[in-house]
Structure 1
Amino acid sequence: MPPSPSTSQGSRLISRVLPVAVKFWLQTQLDDIGDLSFEIQATDRQVLTGQIPGLALSAQGAVYKGARITAVNMQARDIQINIGQVLRGKPLRLKQAFPIQGQVVFAGEDLAVSSTASVLADGLLDFWQTLLAKADVAAEVAAHYGPHTMAWQDLTQYQSKMETAGSGLRLHLISQGEQQNAPQTPTELCLQGKIAIDQGQILQLTTAHWGLPSGDWVPSEALRGFSWNLGEHIDVQSLAIENDRLSCQCAIMVQP
């Protein structure tokens, strides 16, 4: 389906040139865009000074740095662009950071695929690295999975996978090859838990269980209240997991 941009109270020049420039800029930020629509919320006078007070965007099947986003609905505001260069046929450039707010949805299948080969995969490996660097967590892993835990300190030979599990998430850390230096090391760790939001930037495990090779689930004492800081440029208002879909309501700052 072709994109359906529109402007409000804009001249023919602006209505023809600016949507094309915005669409091209979006294409440079994303690996792929499925069904896309956006509305430029600005008057002719505002646009000619390089100001876009609002931009509403919705898309289905977008891909960002390998992450497959099932659906996104966002509202951006206070955008400043190089309008003079745009009108001369140059690419759109941002002149300063601006906030966007809205909802991002991952279906279970998209979440699982994204967690193995994308910017999300890198974040998950960082999460596991931080987790296993904690002495009490390492001791708990050794107690449940065996004493050969030193191999977990180097995660270059592992990949992480994330999937929905009821109203929570299930994380896997999986070996991609044989561990020659520690052949008795298990080839997979599995952690399941529910997540709460604290102060917008911090994800907190409210429950955590280890999934053992035997199929049993055992609660984690070491991970009680474990938290993960997402950084100052993101503000998560809500995170919900229902019907095999993860939905996140959040606000972030887009950097030039």
Structure 2
Amino acid sequence: MPEKNSQAKGANKIRIITNVLTTAVKLWLRAQVSHVSQLEVDIKASDRQLLSGRIPWVSISANDAVYQGLHITRIQLVAENIQVNIGAVLKGQPLRLLATVPVVGELIVDEKDLNSSVSSELLSTAFNEVLVKLLPEHCLKSKQIAWEKIILENHRIILAAILTCPSDNTPLEISLNLNLVSNQKLRLSQIQVLENGAPLVAGNEDYHLDLGSDVEIQELSVIPAQLICRGKINVNP
């Protein structure tokens, strides 16, 4: 009987640790986003692994999340070999990663959510970098650009913007094909740029965007009204 009680107490202790850790992970994830409508976390670990702060496997899924102004329709992630400050978490302190975590997952963004994100710093900075690549000699220093709309077609993206300068406002439209060249590199091709309906760029020259060593994309699909990305990213402490 005492042995059974001991086992029950041990199981209850582990269950408490699992619940605390799951709650801490959810709080940490919610702190990374400004909004999320649905968030699910599933942790798989042995008793010894939990007590040592090692989590061999975590699954995360979320709907309607907003990260730094970027609206994400759906996201599913799996992370392995996570090390966290379990001792501090059990004392009520925030969860903290102790080492870089490779995260594999799928990201789906609907066109309507992209358009809700068009003024975010993440997207506007990326679009501005593309514009500088396409029009390095075009005078934008005295103008401000406001990105207004994104249209997704098969393998193709259309970006609409307004160039504002002291004298007038000018519509700008960029359309291009977006394809994956390698795990870390994207190719922009079949580029067309129209300023107030007049062509500025309409050539066969391709441009490449380097995503960095922390990203490893396996699939990138641009289809009507939706963008789908599958791959891996390193989450650093």
Fold agreement, TM-score > 0.5 = yes
Distance, in Å, in 1 between the alignment partners of 2:225 and 2:205 is 25
Percent identity reads 29
Match of 2:187 in 1: 204
Find the counterpart in structure 1 of residue 175 from structure 2: 192
Cα offsets for 1:180-221 (capped at 9, x unmatched): 2xx37x62321111111112111101321224534x778722
Question: What SS does the corresponding residue of 1:96 show, helix, strand or coil?
Answer: coil
**Cα distance change of structure 1 residues 122 and 153 upon mapping to structure 2, 3 Å threshold:** same
Q: Distance in 2 between matches of 1:91 and 1:81?
A: 10
1:171 to 159, 167, 171: 159
In structure 1, distance between residues paired with 2:161 and 2:48 = 54
> Counterparts of 2:25 and 2:32 in 1: how far apart (Å)?
11
Tell me if 1:71 matches 2:74.
yes
Distance in 1 between residues matched to 2:180 and 2:231, nearest whole Å: 11
Corresponding residue for residue 249 of structure 1? 230
Q: Which residue of 2 aligns with 1:213?
A: 196
Residue type of the alignment partner of 1:79: I
Q: 1:236 aligns with which of 211, 217, 228?
A: 217
Rounded Cα–Cα distance in structure 1 between residues aligned with 2:33 and 2:152 = 28
Structure showing the higher strand proportion among its residues: 2
Shift of residue 16, structure 1, vs aligned partner: 2.0
Aligned residues between the structures: 225
Long gaps (5+) in structure 1: 1-8, 139-148
Worse overlay, 10-19 or 188-197: 10-19
Q: Which of 15, 19, 22 in structure 2 is aligned with 1:19?
A: 22
Task: Provide the TM-score with structure 1 as the length reference.
Answer: 0.80
Give, in whole Å, the separation in 2 of the partners of 1:166 and 1:200. Answer: 22
Which of 126, 132, 145 aligns to 1:158? It is 145
Task: Map residues 5-84 of structure 1 onto 2, 5 A cutoff.
Answer: 11-84=14-87
Structure 1 residue 68, shift from structure 2 partner: 0.4
